[in-house]
Amino acid sequence: MKTRITELLQIEYPIIQGGMAWVAEHHLAAAVSEAGGLGLIGGANAPADVVRAEIRKAREMTKKEIGVNVMLLSPYADEVAKVVVEEGIKVITTGAGSPEKYMEMWKEAEIKVIPVVASMALARRMERYGAAAVVAEGCESGGHIGEQTTMTLVPQVVDAVDIPVIAAGGIGDGRGFAAAMMLGAEAVQIGTRFVVAEESIASDAYKDRIIKAKDIDSEVTGRSHGHPVRQLRNQMTREYVKKEKEGASFEELEYLTLGALKKAVIDGDAVNGTLMAGQIAGLIKQKQSCKEIITEIMKEAEKLLLLT
Ligand code: TUI
């Protein structure tokens, strides 16, 4: 399947991996790129030297291009923004803000910048700043989310910009992929299904919660302070939601989630950890290699789109 995104990124399949904090490290990024998609290192809140090391380790595992996701709320965002240039990265996605202050530097380095947006307004602004494409991410996604659903956001962004649009949020199989194409997207970004990939270093406890998840197991915390985060319900989210209803301060709520993502991903603490996952978790039933995931999605989608 050829689209402007497969051409732009020189990838076999129009599938890019989400820049998930802690999960999107070198093993996963290399495996997704090796499988014909675009793998990414998630900069998240990591110091710049950690991101640099991750890029180098990924390159030892694959000759194919890998990208980096720059999380703009990170205290290290400025340093990470420079490291990606120094390391010769050619594709960047950004999240949780507007990357406009880095655009000139990145474009000078001939980097294709693909901001993740949750609104039409930001998509338009990013096109004006020279973005190569945008990811339109609906609130079905795991992690930090906007307000609009994928179904409503993607076609509106497609109509608002001329650059290609990558759909994200709620896409976990060939049906979701095909639906995204029907909305005008030219590729998809997938997160949750790659968390459970065999090559993903996420703990078995975290992967098992995704595999056992039902449609209604998703919870959004943090709406009260303007940083909504979607994750699977557990003891931590129950306590968080209770405190939020009681009017707890931002600091008190932050304290609850301090280091909680690492707890889930690395330590395997599915009770107190932050189990970031999208609403599509209920559809994900098994661990597979990235190659199997991508091949299965493409085969199913091509059949639905009557391409085979
Ligand atoms: O960024 C993400 N997903 C993330 S970031 C993250 S780390 C984090 N943890 C707790 C709180 C905050 C961040 C976990 N998951 N996805 C891309 C995304 N970007 N979703 C929504 C947005 C977004 C939201 C508002 C982008 C821009 C924006 O407004 C910027 C503006 O200036 O209009």
Buried b / exposed e across 138-153, counting CB within 10 Å, b at 16+? bbbbbbbbbebebeeb
- Residue 73 near ligand 1, beta carbon < 6 Å: yes
The model's confidence at residue 307, banded by pLDDT at 50, 70 and 90, is confident
- Residue 97 near ligand 1, beta carbon < 6 Å: yes
Give distance in angstroms: CA of 116 to centre of ligand 1. Answer: 8
Considering the entire predicted model, what is its pTM? 0.97
Give distance in angstroms: CA of 114 to centre of ligand 1. Answer: 14
What gap in Å lies between CA 102 and CA 74, rounded to an integer? 14
Residue 253 has pLDDT above 80, yes or no: yes
Nearest CA to ligand 1 atom 19: 96
Token pair 């600091």 in the structure block, residue? 251
The model's confidence at residue 254, banded by pLDDT at 50, 70 and 90, is confident
Nearest CA to ligand 1 atom 27: 97
Residue 308 has pLDDT above 80, yes or no: no
* Per-residue pLDDT reduced to its tens digit, 115-153: 999 999 999 999 999 999 999 999 999 999 999 999 999
What gap in Å lies between CA 25 and CA 69, rounded to an integer? 11
Portion of the chain with pLDDT greater than 70, in percent: 100
pLDDT at 9: 98
Average pLDDT score, the chain: 97
pLDDT at 255: 86
What gap in Å lies between CA 225 and CA 220, rounded to an integer? 12
Is the separation of the CB atoms in 228 and 220 below 8 Å?
A: yes
